Amino acid sequence: MRHIIAMLMENEPGSLSRVAGLFSARGYNIHSLCVAPTEDPTVSRLTLVTREKDEGIVEQITKQLNKLVDVIKVLDLTEGEHVERAIMLVKVRATGARREELKRLSDIFRGRILDVSSSTYTIEVTGVGEKLDAFIDALEPKSILEVVRSGALGIGRGTKSLRV
Amino acid sequence: MELTGAQILCRFLKDEGVEYVFGYPGGSVLFIYDELYKQDAVKHILVRHEQGATHMADGYARATGKPGVVLVTSGPGATNAVTGIATAYMDSIPMVVITGQVPTQAIGSDAFQEVDSVGITRPCVKHNFLVKDVKDLTQTLKKAFHVATSGRPGPVVVDIPKDVTALKADYVYPTAVEMRSYNPVTRGHGGQIKKALKLILGAKRPMVYSGGGVVLGESSAELTEVVQQLGYPITSTLMGLGAYPGADRQFLGMLGMHGTYEANMAMHGCDVLIAIGARFDDRVVGDVKKFCPKAKIIHIDIDPASISKVVKVHIPIVGGVKEVLEELLAALKTTEQQRDEDALAGWWQQIEEWRAKKCLSYANSSELIKPQAVLEALYKLTDGDAYVASDVGQHQMFAAQYYPFKEPRRWINSGGLGTMGFGLPAAMGVQFAYPDETVACITGDGSIMMCIQELATAKQYGLPVKILSLNNGYLGMVRQWQEFFYDKNYSQSYMETLPDFVKLAESFGHVGLRIDKAADVEGALKEALSRKDDLVFMDFITDPSENVYPMMEAGKGHNEMLLRELA
Ligand SMILES: Cc1ncc(C[n+]2csc(CCOP(=O)(O)OP(=O)(O)O)c2C)c(N)n1
Ligand SMILES: [Mg+2]
């Protein structure tokens, strides 16, 4: 099953490599990883998505992450209600009549056109992974010039929050 | 007070109560060595190879429970230390390793003797630090000792660039340390302990499986009391030997790959397994699918990640082994629940039948020296009270089987990593801690060659270690596997050109004895033990064909052991 694991860690050089190293050393799968400092510059928040068939391994992953001395808190968001977002930027060939069509498609996905040239659009789409996949599927494959996607970010619903 | 980084380090080590630093100098640590020269509170032990320094510090830590401290230079100094760091990591030994580093502004430039020590050691340390600012040095050192010694212990590396050792900062010894990201649990969950007690007392065929965590957690007395109150059988892992008295009737011997028949059979047959400070290592468990098929499992461990990592357990209790056992004892005293005496009597009867197989008996010989006989003689002549440090191989297993330790911290061996070369320097580390005790090093003709240079260190500091080399002319453990599983193709396991160990010991200034007749074993040991001030290297020429039994092959269950066939 797919799990989104959120964690707070000391914002120190090498912290990220401890997480990455743990996954490679123990053979765990990382599908995506996002990390940036929080409102408190000494704390980084890291969100990672893993797909493991064995729930025992997911339990091990959270325990091993917790064991890292730099890690302050770990939460498997998938255990509760949560919202999730990823962002994608797509550069597409946009000429002639296709320009109008692409604009409409972008609107349907609540995308935004960030950059325009005489032959291209750069469109921003945010949402859950499936929505981003669906947008890609809706595009003419040959028209796609470049795709850049972030990993998922996640946050729990309601009043509870993951804080130091 | 303003001090240089090097001065801060020396002052800190003194204030932290560090007795010994095991190390080897080099360019990046010269400021530190200059300060060591000007003080005498901390004794520096000059080794002959950085691997030796780490194993010495490790042996010291295993015997005393205090953290071992190592100091090495950057680059090759640090890489030479890696084997010893990994050895300590696998066995959760508290150790602080200070590595020199090239100056901060040179980091990343492929400078002379630069390696990414923090990167190289990351997967084999509990934690590591690179100190970039001398103002952070004191706090970082304090954190390093705190992390190394608390929770599940382990080695911590502190990498210090050369300029940091020369720059100045204020120094005040920090008595406390705060780390918001690191707060190991010690008290076990009361509810879980209650549940466990109910299961324990209701058991019909109970079994206690204790491990190195009991030794590390200083809870041998609590373990012994709980087990004796319950009257249940107990086995131990290689790492836990001595935590429960080895000669007691309730002790069934070691379990696992070379465990006793009775211990392994009792594991297979038990209905409640109480795992204490053990981590279900593959050498203990064998085939996970065949592990304790009838048992409900209780697991007490300080490391949550150890729980249900290999084998799913029914009642996990996360906490310090000592704290949890204390609570369990208190609960035992007040409970009204009765044990199932009839079932227990039957269980013990079954265990005694297994024990009657005498799986450790061997055909002694009046000519060839049997390795087992050497260990039995050592046990007899030291009353079972020696510190025994071992290398890795058949001799290690014989030591574990034939020297039933009475107390914890007497058995010093590399269990998790299985590092050949560990024995001699580890024995020396123990001898530094306990200069007047008998410290024996059980080694083999292969292993001893891996850190043989430390004989020079032993001479320099007058360490009277007693080396018992069980010289079978083979990498015996490898030869055994080749005999059993690789069609007797003895590929590269025969040691063709062994040195004359007597002369070799003598050339380092020690006493060497060669013993090749069974009748001479006791005499030689007596002589060696009576030489209180000398390191004696006993080269026992042993039966080259001897194998370690019982043996549970990889992928087999505890009830599928190979036993020694006696003619
Ligand atoms: C550094 C290292 N290299 C290789 C091994 C693999 N190994 C395990 S036991 C062994 C043989 C040890 O030979 P010896 O020290 O003579 O002991 P014996 O088994 O003969 O008693 C070897 C090579 C190891 N454990 N450690
Ligand atoms: Mg040998």
Q: pLDDT tens digits for B81-105?
A: 999 999 999 999 999 999 999 999 9
B288 Cβ under 8 Å from any chain A Cβ: no
- Contacts of residue B342, defined as CB under 8 A and 6 or more positions apart, other chains included, come to none
Beta strand B95-101 pairing with B155-161:
parallel
Cβ atoms of B98 and B73 within 8 Å: the answer is no
Examine the residue annotation and report whether B162 is marked as an active-site residue of this protein: yes
Phi, psi torsion values for B392, nearest 5 degrees: -125, 130
Q: Is the pLDDT of residue B8 over 70?
A: yes
Q: pLDDT tens digits for A112-127?
A: 999 999 999 999 999 9
pLDDT band at B495 (very low <50, low <70, confident <90, very high): confident
pLDDT band at B398 (very low <50, low <70, confident <90, very high): very high
pLDDT for the residue numbered A133: 97
Q: Which atom of ligand 1 is nearest to the CA of B443?
A: 15
Q: Give how far Cα B377 sits from Cα of A93, B234, B449, B473, B529, Å.
A: 86, 26, 25, 21, 12
pLDDT for the residue numbered B186: 85
Q: Which of A97-103's residues contact partners 24+ apart within 8 Å by CB, and which partners?
A: A98/A143
Residue whose C-alpha is closest to residue A32's, from A109, A88, A73, A72 = A88
Touching A: B residues 345-384, CB under 8 Å: none
pLDDT band at B554 (very low <50, low <70, confident <90, very high): confident
Tell me how many degrees the CA angle A67-B20-B465 measures, rounded to the nearest 5: 105
Q: Is the pLDDT of residue B323 over 80?
A: yes
In this prediction, residues B270-278 reach a mean pLDDT of 98
**Pocket test residue of B420, B478, B541 for ligand 1, highest count of atoms within 8 A of CB:** B420
By mean pLDDT, which of B263-277, B525-539, B548-562 is the weakest? Answer: B548-562
Examine the residue annotation and report whether B112 is marked as an active-site residue of this protein: yes
Q: pLDDT tens digits for A29-66?
A: 999 999 999 999 999 999 999 998 888 999 999 999 99
Q: Is the pLDDT of residue B567 over 70?
A: no
Cβ atoms of B206 and B292 within 8 Å: the answer is no
Residue whose C-alpha is closest to residue B243's, from B226, B260, B261 = B226
Examine the residue annotation and report whether B50 is marked as an active-site residue of this protein: yes
Looking at every residue in chain A, the average pLDDT score rounds to: 96
Q: Give how far Cα A21 sits from Cα of A16, B84, B95, B119, B123, Å.
A: 8, 20, 22, 10, 7
Determine the residue type at B379.
Answer: Y
For residue A9, the chain B residue with the least C-alpha distance is: B181
pLDDT for the residue numbered B566: 82
From the CA of B480, the nearest ligand is: 1
In this prediction, residues B155-181 reach a mean pLDDT of 97
Q: Do A69 and B147 touch (CB under 8 A)?
A: yes
Q: Which ipTM score applies to this complex?
A: 0.93
Cβ atoms of B412 and B68 within 8 Å: the answer is no
Q: Which atom of ligand 1 is nearest to the CA of B480?
A: 19
Q: How far is A72 from chain B (nearest CA, A)?
A: 4
Cβ atoms of B281 and B257 within 8 Å: the answer is no
Q: Which of A9, A69, A72 is opposite residue B126, by nearest beta carbon?
A: A69
Chain A residues within 8 A of B181 when measuring between CB atoms: 9-10, 69-72
Q: Which helix (H) or strand (E) holds A120?
A: strand A120-127
CA–CA separation, B2 and B382 (whole Å): 52
Beta strand B155-161 pairing with B127-130:
parallel
Q: Considering the candidates B126, B142, B143, B162, report the single residue annotated as catalytic.
A: B162
Q: What is the pTM of this model?
A: 0.97
Q: Which of A131-138's residues contact partners 24+ apart within 8 Å by CB, and which partners?
A: A132/A86, A132/A88, A134/A109, A135/A88, A135/A90, A135/A105, A135/A109, A135/A111, A136/A88, A136/A90, A138/A105, A138/A109
Q: Which of A9, A21, A63 is opposite residue B304, by nearest beta carbon?
A: A63
Q: Do A60 and B126 touch (CB under 8 A)?
A: no
From the centroid of its chain, how far is CA B216? Answer: 10
Residue entry with tokens 């007597």: B502
A10 Cβ under 8 Å from any chain B Cβ: yes
Phi, psi torsion values for B98, nearest 5 degrees: -100, 120
| Percent of chain B predicted with pLDDT > 90 | 98
Phi, psi torsion values for B521, nearest 5 degrees: -60, -55
Q: Six-digit token pair at B123? A: 């997967």
Q: Is the pLDDT of residue B508 over 70?
A: yes
In this prediction, residues B487-514 reach a mean pLDDT of 96
Q: Considering the candidates B16, B113, B132, B459, report the single residue annotated as catalytic.
A: B113
Q: Do B181 and A10 touch (CB under 8 A)?
A: yes
| Percent of chain A predicted with pLDDT > 70 | 100
Residue entry with tokens 């190592």: B70
Q: Which atom of ligand 1 is nearest to the CA of B445?
A: 16
Q: Which helix (H) or strand (E) holds B20?
A: strand B20-23
Ligand 1 first shell, C-beta below 6 A:
B 391-395, 418-421, 444-447, 470, 472, 474-478
Residue entry with tokens 């992928």: B555
- Distance (angstroms) between ligand 1 centre and the Cα of B239 equals 18
SS3 B454: helix
Q: pLDDT tens digits for B301-318?
A: 999 999 999 999 999 999
B202 Cβ under 8 Å from any chain A Cβ: no
Looking at every residue in chain B, the average pLDDT score rounds to: 97
In this prediction, residues B238-262 reach a mean pLDDT of 98
Q: Considering the candidates B477, B538, B551, B552, report the single residue annotated as catalytic.
A: B477
From the centroid of its chain, how far is CA B523? Answer: 30
CA–CA separation, A106 and A148 (whole Å): 16
Beta strand A144-149 pairing with A82-93:
antiparallel
Q: How far is B317 from chain A (nearest CA, A)?
A: 14
In this prediction, residues B185-208 reach a mean pLDDT of 95
- Distance (angstroms) between ligand 2 centre and the Cα of B448 equals 9
pLDDT for the residue numbered B555: 85
For residue A22, the chain B residue with the least C-alpha distance is: B123
pLDDT for the residue numbered B62: 98
Q: pLDDT tens digits for B420-472?
A: 999 999 999 999 999 999 999 999 999 999 999 999 999 999 999 999 999 99
> DSSP character for B253?
E
- Residue with the nearest Cα to atom 9 of ligand 1? B393
Q: Which atom of ligand 1 is nearest to the CA of B477?
A: 19
